[in-house]
């Protein structure tokens, strides 16, 4: 059977001093699959978009910023991740320069600048699988990671990745 995931972007916006990251605390929509969790910004790609255009659009819509510099850090395939077991494929970006000032919130929740150390200490309610790939997003290794993280019942089953 062909793999036909929902294609999405996930971006981590670094503060100018690189000590903190803008995350969304998904606390605004009761039926939200991500309710209560902290996450990067992003979302589903539109049919006429490439992943870079989609990431730029999502950051503008969700945080009111224009991306000036970003790097594709990697991809993660999440078979079975969705609410009804849908497969997702995420393109994960690190945004290192932007213009604009994010608002305190958006329709999905509160926007918060969180210290990178706190994110990597997993001192927040994050998705359980974030602990596997977030260190790869923020490390100094310039190589991209490309991973597979199957989910079952809201939990990661395994994690494998390749660096290139």
Q: What percent of the chain has pLDDT over 90?
A: 90
Is the pLDDT score of 155 beyond 80? yes
pLDDT in tens, 97-144: 999 999 999 999 999 999 999 999 999 999 999 999 999 999 999 999
The predicted model gives 18-37 an average pLDDT of: 89
For the chain, the structural domain boundaries read 6-163
- The superfamily in CATH containing domain 6-163 is Nucleoside Triphosphate Pyrophosphohydrolase (3.90.79.10)
- Alpha carbons 42 and 55: distance in angstroms, whole number: 6
Token pair belonging to 72: 């594709």
If residue 138 lies in a helix (H) or strand (E), which one and from where to where?
A: helix 130-138
The predicted model gives 92-96 an average pLDDT of: 98
The pTM of the full predicted model, rounded to 2 decimals, is 0.95
Q: Is 7 helix (H, G, I), strand (E, B) or coil?
A: strand
Q: Is 61 helix (H, G, I), strand (E, B) or coil?
A: helix
Cα 21 versus chain centre, distance: 11
């Amino acid at each position: 059977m062909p793999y036909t995931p929902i294609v999405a972007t996930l971006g981590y916006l670094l503060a100018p001093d690189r000590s903190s990251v803008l995350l969304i605390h998904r606390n605004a929509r009761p039926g939200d699959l991500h309710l209560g969790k902290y996450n990067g910004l992003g979302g589903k790609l539109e049919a006429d978009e490439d992943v870079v255009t989609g990431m730029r659009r999502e950051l503008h819509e969700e945080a009111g910023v224009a991306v000036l510099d970003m790097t594709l850090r990697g991809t993660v395939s999440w078979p079975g991740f969705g609410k009804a077991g849908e497969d997702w494929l995420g393109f994960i970006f690190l945004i290192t320069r932007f213009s604009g000032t994010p608002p305190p919130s958006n329709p999905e929740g509160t926007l918060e600048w969180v210290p990178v150390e706190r994110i990597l200490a997993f001192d927040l309610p994050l998705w359980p699988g974030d602990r596997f790939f977030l260190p790869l997003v923020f490390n100094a290794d310039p190589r991209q990671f490309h991973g597979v993280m199957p989910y079952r019942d809201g939990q990661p089953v395994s994690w494998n990745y390749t660096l290139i």
